[in-house]
Amino acid sequence: MIAAGEPAPDFTLRDQDGEKVSLADFRGRKLLLVFYPGDFSPVCGDQFSIYQEVKPEIAAKGVELVGISVDSFFSHQAFREKLGIDTTLLSDFEPKGEVARAYGSYVEEMGFANRTLVLVDEDGIVAWTYESPNPGEFPGANVIFDALG
């Protein structure tokens, strides 16, 4: 798991609309990266539904929330539509899990990212991280708000 104080590894991934999104696009803003195993699992749906509910409070603290999984951007688009969420979802599809690996979130034997939160500050430095004990447990909104103060 990447540690606080380290530079956040740069990336360019496609979002749910197939558009390229890079870490550099968020320079000057705080960014909360939410690594998760995959779209359409019951746990992932619950996680993003709860995050959607508190997203205005997260934004009020000056933080943008972005999800990342190994699913294709087509899957992300359908997942967002099914849940009725507007969170940007990025596809770490090919090479599979490259960004999750760079952040220390990838679980090799499972083939996907663990549920990991990484707060990147305005200068692109990792400010805080959280890793779930296992992919079946997602960090609740309270974990995010504790980190944001």
| Residue positions annotated with a catalytic role | 44
Distances in Å between the alpha carbon of 28 and those of 16, 31, 64? 23, 9, 11
**Could you give the C-alpha distances from 5 to 74, 105, 123, 126, in angstroms and in order?**
34, 17, 11, 5
DSSP letter, residue 74: H
Helices (H), 22-120: 42-60, 73-83, 98-102
Which of 6, 7, 84, 77 minimizes the C-alpha distance to 39?
77
Residue 32, strand partner residues: 65, 119
DSSP track, 54-73:
HHHHHHHTTEEEEEEESS-H
